[in-house]
Amino acid sequence: PQTVTLTGLTADGAGVNVTASFSDDAACTFTQNNLFTSPADCGGGDVWNVDQDIYYTSIQDAVDAAVAGETIKIIALREYIEDVVVDKTLIFTSDATDYTQIEITSIEVNTPGGSLTITGDMSVQQVLNMQAGDVFVNAGVDFALRSTETYSAMVINADPTNTVQGRVIMERYMPSVADLGGYDGVGGYHVIASPFVSAPINQLSNNMSLVLNTAFNTAPEPATVSPFPTLFLYDESSAGTPTFYYDGFLVGFKVPTTTDFEVMRGYQANVSALTTLDLNGTLNNGNIGSINITNNGLGAPNGSFNLMGNPYPSPILWNELYNNSTGVANAIYIDIPTSRYGTNYASYVNDVGVNGGTNQIATMQGFWVEAEPAGGSLTYNNDIRVTSYTNPRFFGEEEEKGLKEGLIKMQIKKDNHIGDEMAIYFEKGATADFDYYYDARKLRLHNGNAPSLYSFYEGEEKSLFFAINGMPSFNVSMQIPIAVDIKQEGRHTVSLSELKYFHDLHKVYLYDSLTHMMHDLKENPEYAFNATPGLTQKRFVLLFELPEGSGVFEDDKLVLYPNPSTERISFSLKNNFEGEYSIKIYDVLGREITGFKQVKEGAFLQGKLDISNYANGVYILELSNNKESLQKRFLKE
């Protein structure tokens, strides 16, 4: 406790001294005459149980001491770094005049058959967890799920019958192009979606210059329309014949004609830098239903795309949504603005992502999918929703896992600005052609200054371009051509951003056909080159070389090399199992010399053993898991 003397003036101008004792974390409220009004003697805290007239220093303390049905009033206007668990029917209220004045980290409602009622403005930073019971938001109250550059809130409906009832505000922070490493600090086109049962489109006018000029939809040359629209949906069925300004992908954009956002539909919005979008309404929950995706063949051979959206107030998992759906390719694509009108794409397919593409689709996020020839539908229910707190941006990073026999990611940059990333991986079942399950196409919008990098396939009847290229497993050396789009003249760099699942004996080279340079990417992961502007410059080749006769690329075969050995021996196993292995060495009498655990990711389990201190003789290496045990003899000499 501290004692503080406050000096001030009364209403008639006379001086007055007030002395009070209070704790460091207590809150005091004064009238204009410097008299205490609450809490009494300034000896309480920031949270007031109205019914018991007792003050507490935290929301959780007040909740724990409350009786069902009582009202908890949050007094101080500040951030409450608390994960509050409400285990009884209560009312939360405040005197805040704006929801940003009171921010609570998380609220979990765990009141079976009960509820939490919100009667005053406040907000949540991370999670509103509907574990059991409902949340009621009174009319006229601003209760918000916040989003900033450091966090974004979400709702978890552990049981779909536990709902948030009433009007809720949900935010989504949009980084500037400069935040993303782009070429300017302005905004750009972001793909967005609504998490509400119905939300008027004109709500966006609070956060962006909203222009809905429907003359764009019927104009012979839409680019000449003025004022130019700033919000679009996409109609694959009207992709049509390209005009002078638009190619087959672009002409499907249309200005919305409905009053409300369509649920499950994505929209492309031209948003200014550092903007926080906010929508409000009744939150979606449970089994929303299905939405059709179409393929009219207008985009062949480069795909027929549909712009979809995440309809929930929480991230969703693409792998789960894909399993719920029919007639859709396994890849998703999300726009990343590189300038006001320039865009790259975060892509994700088969547990591989580039440019930050992941399995998670963020709240209020739109995304592109490709329909298979017959078309199909996406089906949304709570099973596809994330059930623990995640804080993704509109795209993020996630470690890939899968039965891969090699994965390489490369990125291109000019100076330190945002560039582009591509991936190539090897897996049984994939082919050199485009595969709906294994590949992601290279989508390109040529406005802006960002360079692009991608692999390609050139056949007699078609050329295909890949952001993520799934290739078949291989046991001979392989070459894959790489192209670049260069927007600005000067020095560029191509570098490894990830190399995994390959065997140690694999060699990976980048060949520059213009300079005739062969660059070893394992020894030096960065290659610099000069370039002049131009699209689809088929300049590079990736070469994957492997030694002949080693046996390490044969399935289900344990290989030791060199054998015999004097200092170190390497082991290698290729099979279809991922997980933990027990690795042990025995002498010829069966006595264990050493043992350790190792986790196998991808097709290869490999390692090196130091045997320099072993006595000369024969030893046995054993690899085992819960399915198999393999042994191989080696000689120390």
Burial 112-130 (b: 16+ CB within 10 A, else e): eebbbbbbbbbbbbbbbbb
Main-chain phi, psi angles of 469, to 5 degrees: -115, 105
Among the listed ranges 238-247, 250-259, 622-631, which one has the minimum average pLDDT value?
Answer: 238-247
Tell me the sheet residues that pair with 128. 107, 155
Q: Among all chains, which residue has been given the structure tokens 């007792």? A: 54
Q: What is the pLDDT of residues 273-317, one digit of tens each?
A: 678 999 999 999 999 999 999 998 776 667 889 999 999 999 999
Single-letter code of the amino acid located at 145: L
Q: Which of 38, 107, 40 has its CA nearest to residue 75?
A: 38
- The answer to whether the beta carbons of residues 508 and 543 sit under 8 Å apart is yes
- Is the pLDDT at 11 greater than 60? The verdict is no
Q: How many residues does the chain have?
A: 637
CB contact set of 100 (below 8 Å; sequence gap of 6+): 123, 144, 146
- The answer to whether the beta carbons of residues 294 and 308 sit under 8 Å apart is no
For residues 363-392, average pLDDT? 91
Q: Give 489-517 as a DSSP string.
A: -EEEEEEEEEEES--TT-EEEEEETTTTE
User: How many degrees, rounded to 5, is the angle at CA 38 between CA 34 and CA 44?
Assistant: 120
- Percentage with pLDDT > 70 across the chain: 86
Among the listed ranges 227-241, 537-551, 564-578, which one has the minimum average pLDDT value?
Answer: 227-241
Q: How far apart are the C-alpha atoms of 300 and 604, rounded to whole Å?
A: 37
Q: What is the pLDDT of residue 338?
A: 77
Q: What is the pLDDT of residues 399-442, one digit of tens each?
A: 444 589 999 999 999 987 778 999 999 999 999 999 999 999 99
Q: What is the pLDDT of residues 552-573, one digit of tens each?
A: 888 889 999 999 999 999 999 9
- Is the pLDDT at 390 greater than 80? The verdict is no
pLDDT band at 476 (very low <50, low <70, confident <90, very high): confident
- Is the pLDDT at 395 greater than 70? The verdict is no
Burial class of residue 254, CB neighbours in 10 A (0-12, 13-18, 19+): middle
Q: How far apart are the C-alpha atoms of 407 and 389, rounded to whole Å?
A: 29
Tell me the sheet residues that pair with 385. 316
Q: What is the pLDDT of residue 444?
A: 75
Single-letter code of the amino acid located at 482: I
Q: How far apart are the C-alpha atoms of 392 and 577, rounded to whole Å?
A: 30
- Could you give the 3-state DSSP secondary structure of residue 385? strand
Average model confidence (pLDDT) across the chain: 87
Is the peptide bond prior to 525 cis by the omega test (within 30 degrees of 0)? no
- The answer to whether the beta carbons of residues 424 and 543 sit under 8 Å apart is no
Q: What is the pLDDT of residues 254-267, one digit of tens each?
A: 999 999 999 999 99
Main-chain phi, psi angles of 398, to 5 degrees: -150, 140
- The answer to whether the beta carbons of residues 557 and 574 sit under 8 Å apart is yes
pLDDT band at 13 (very low <50, low <70, confident <90, very high): low
Q: What is the pLDDT of residue 49?
A: 96
CB contact set of 613 (below 8 Å; sequence gap of 6+): none
Q: What is the pLDDT of residues 149-177, one digit of tens each?
A: 888 999 999 888 999 999 999 999 987 65
Q: What is the pLDDT of residue 43?
A: 47
Q: Which of 137, 96, 95, 143 has its CA nearest to residue 117?
A: 137
For residues 316-334, average pLDDT? 96
- The answer to whether the beta carbons of residues 536 and 579 sit under 8 Å apart is no
- Is the pLDDT at 246 greater than 60? The verdict is no
Q: How far apart are the C-alpha atoms of 84 and 503, rounded to whole Å?
A: 49
Q: Among all chains, which residue has been given the structure tokens 């574990």? A: 131
CB contact set of 414 (below 8 Å; sequence gap of 6+): 449, 451, 488, 490, 491, 492, 493
Q: What is the rounded end-to-end Cα distance, in angstroms, of the chain?
A: 76
Q: Give 218-249 as a DSSP string.
A: T-SSGGG-SSPPSEEEE-GGG--S--SS--TT
For residues 85-111, average pLDDT? 97
Q: What is the pLDDT of residue 243?
A: 52
- Could you give the 3-state DSSP secondary structure of residue 60? helix
Q: Give 237-290 as a DSSP string.
A: GG--S--SS--TTGGGEE---SSBPPTTB-EEEEE-TTEEEEEEEPBP-S--EE
